[in-house]
A = this chain, B = another copy of it.
Amino acid sequence: MNRVRALALLAGLTVLLGCGAAPIAPPPPTGAFAPFAAEVARILQPARADRGAFQKLTELCDGIGNRLAGSEALDRAIAWAQATLRADGLANVHAEPVTVTRWVRGQESLELLTPRPLALTMLGLGGSVATPPEGVTAEVVVAHDEHDLKLLGERIRGRIVLFDNPMPVYTPETGAQYGETVRFRGHGAAIAGKLGAVAVLVRSVTARSLATPHTGNTRYDDDGPNIPAAAVSTEHAALLTRLIARGEVVKVRLKMQARTEGTAPSANVLAELPGREWPEQVVVLGGHLDSWDVGQGAHDDGAGCVMAMQAVALLKRLGLQPRRTIRVVLWTNEENGLAGAKAYAQVHAGELVRHVAALEADSGAFRPEALTVELQDAEQEAKAAAQLHQLAGLLAGMQLEIRQRGSGADVAPMKSGGVPLVGLVMESSTYFDYHHTPADTLDKVDPALLAQGEALFAALAYVLAEWPGQLGR
């Protein structure tokens, strides 16, 4: 991991500055940010008491539901977001057109045929091609990792590869280990296809399951071949692995109607609180409005969207108009293409030099745990991390680590434009239980924790837009 833990960073700084006191808790507000302590306190208190974000999330989840890019549901969400931002009194509310790939799941099923018939719990992976109408029927071989795949060699040809690599149990020390576990969902089909597999099954990327399949995107290589790919519940991945381990011939039939139906019009939603002194300078904050086509996209990433929307609505309501413009951006198509993120960076390319920060929240509505910071220039990034550490000292009641690298997917395309990217990272002990599943629903969201995210967004956006300095400078 490329993380620099806050304490390690601070220890380094204190050595650098010749200051020997061992830092335990974040320092009191100091330096450049001290003048904002009163305003931050004025923001945090009502933000934490605010239930407006949860009200918005309820409208999004219950009124619209899940919303894959290119779906009518996302179109409705885009219209809802604009209407809501307008009702909150924000300026320049508009949708910026983005062309997205339209992927449709269709009917799908996975049946165990031998050693005994059983309906298996599955969810096709986004971007997958269909099977023939009669399905793909083949024996299953198991690979836990790349090494296993090598050992299987020719036995992959004509078979279905099950990638059964379990997500480890979360610990505060190791985190969720999503990045390490998800790799076969991403490129398993591409790898196995080249080795002659006729389809792949991927163990759902979660450490905790109640017969719950997890979808997510898969990518083929340009030179193919494109073979069907589906996630299977951890329970059934483990079952197939056990059956094979005891010498059974495991045959399954995978049927998927999944298809990419060309492209579809979609949009990013933008809204602004115009700056009072330097309105041409911008602090971006947001989340992605699209979700997978299951559940309600409550944590992923309805939460990030409504935190950002409500944070700016709150600043407006409090009459706080900072020097720079604060711009809410709700990106489209994060889940399966990043077309919204790329379009924003492209359309606003000439303006990126005046983006003083781009903030994204895309890790659910849990206790804020860290800020990530990422900048093209390493020295600037280190400086920005130190600045954020000072800024975090203003946020009474939050113990935020500052980590270098690892910003949100939607802000990432702005990196090459020199924009300081800041990720709002939430505690992740349960996030991946819900992530990309039918269980990512409103009832899993704690309104008080959602308000913590709103508070963090509001305070950060306000200070970064008001402070005459700039992150990394």
Q: How far is it, in angstroms, between the C-alpha of A40 and the C-alpha of B209 when the chains are bound?
A: 38
Cβ-defined contact, B438 with A242, below 8 A: no
A236 (CB) vs chain B CBs: closest residue: B441
Q: How far is it, in angstroms, between the C-alpha of A434 and the C-alpha of B208 when the chains are bound?
A: 12
Query: 1/0 contact trace for A428-464 toward B, CB 8 Å?
Result: 0000011001110111000000000000000000000
Cβ-defined contact, A243 with B62, below 8 A: yes
Question: Which residues of the partner chain B approach A434 to less than 8 Å between Cβ atoms?
Answer: 210
Query: 1/0 contact trace for A37-71 toward B, CB 8 Å?
Result: 00000000000000000000010001001000000
Return the contact of A210 from the options B62, B65, B246, B439 (Cβ within 8 A): B439
Q: How far is it, in angstroms, between the C-alpha of A118 and the C-alpha of B293 when the chains are bound?
A: 11
Q: How far is it, in angstroms, between the C-alpha of A65 and the C-alpha of B211 when the chains are bound?
A: 15
Q: How far is it, in angstroms, between the C-alpha of A121 and the C-alpha of B439 when the chains are bound?
A: 10
Q: Is A473 an interface residue (CB 8 A)?
A: no
Cβ-defined contact, B443 with A238, below 8 A: yes
Question: Which residues of the partner chain B approach A281 to less than 8 Å between Cβ atoms?
Answer: none
Question: Which residues of the partner chain B approach A246 to less than 8 Å between Cβ atoms?
Answer: 62
Report the copy number of this chain in the oligomer.
Answer: 2
Cβ-defined contact, B62 with A239, below 8 A: yes
> Within residues 233 to 256 of chain A, which ones have a CB less than 8 A from any CB in chain B?
234-235, 238-239, 242-243, 246
Question: Which residues of the partner chain B approach A58 to less than 8 Å between Cβ atoms?
Answer: 242
Question: Which residues of the partner chain B approach A234 to less than 8 Å between Cβ atoms?
Answer: 443
Q: Is A116 an interface residue (CB 8 A)?
A: yes
Question: Which residues of the partner chain B approach A295 to less than 8 Å between Cβ atoms?
Answer: 211, 235
A64 (CB) vs chain B CBs: closest residue: B116
Question: Which residues of the partner chain B approach A209 to less than 8 Å between Cβ atoms?
Answer: 210, 439
Q: How far is it, in angstroms, between the C-alpha of A295 and the C-alpha of B235 when the chains are bound?
A: 9
Q: Min CB distance, A75 to chain B, in Å?
A: 14
Question: Which residues of the partner chain B approach A239 to less than 8 Å between Cβ atoms?
Answer: 62, 441-443
Cβ-defined contact, B116 with A438, below 8 A: no
Cβ-defined contact, A437 with B210, below 8 A: yes
Q: Min CB distance, A294 to chain B, in Å?
A: 8
A121 (CB) vs chain B CBs: closest residue: B438
Query: 1/0 contact trace for A79-106 toward B, CB 8 Å?
Result: 0000000000000000000000000000
Q: Min CB distance, A168 to chain B, in Å?
A: 15
Q: Is A212 an interface residue (CB 8 A)?
A: yes
Question: Which residues of the partner chain B approach A433 to less than 8 Å between Cβ atoms?
Answer: 210
Q: How far is it, in angstroms, between the C-alpha of A58 and the C-alpha of B248 when the chains are bound?
A: 14
Question: Which residues of the partner chain B approach A212 to less than 8 Å between Cβ atoms?
Answer: 210-212, 439
A73 (CB) vs chain B CBs: closest residue: B116
Query: 1/0 contact trace for A294-313 toward B, CB 8 Å?
Result: 01000000000000000000
Q: How far is it, in angstroms, between the C-alpha of A212 and the C-alpha of B242 when the chains are bound?
A: 23
Query: 1/0 contact trace for A203-225 toward B, CB 8 Å?
Result: 00000111110000000000000
Cβ-defined contact, A116 with B439, below 8 A: no
Q: Min CB distance, A164 to chain B, in Å?
A: 12
> Within residues 306 to 344 of chain A, which ones have a CB less than 8 A from any CB in chain B?
none
Q: Min CB distance, A233 to chain B, in Å?
A: 8
Question: Which residues of the partner chain B approach A443 to less than 8 Å between Cβ atoms?
Answer: 234-235, 238-239
Cβ-defined contact, A118 with B65, below 8 A: yes
A298 (CB) vs chain B CBs: closest residue: B235
Q: Min CB distance, A322 to chain B, in Å?
A: 35
Pick from A208, A209, A238, A443 the residue with the most CB of B within 10 Å. Answer: A443
Question: Which residues of the partner chain B approach A243 to less than 8 Å between Cβ atoms?
Answer: 62
Q: How far is it, in angstroms, between the C-alpha of A235 and the C-alpha of B116 when the chains are bound?
A: 32
Q: How far is it, in angstroms, between the C-alpha of A433 and the C-alpha of B208 when the chains are bound?
A: 11
> Within residues 172 to 223 of chain A, which ones have a CB less than 8 A from any CB in chain B?
208-212
Question: Which residues of the partner chain B approach A65 to less than 8 Å between Cβ atoms?
Answer: 116, 118
What are 7 of the A-B contact pairs (CB < 8 Å)? Answer: A62-B242, A210-B433, A210-B437, A211-B212, A238-B442, A238-B443, A242-B442
In the A-B complex, the 4 residue pairs with the closest CB atoms: A211-B438, A210-B212, A210-B439, A211-B439
Given contacts A65-B116, A211-B437, A239-B443, 8 further A-B contacts (CB under 8 A): A65-B118, A209-B210, A210-B210, A211-B439, A212-B439, A235-B443, A238-B443, A239-B442
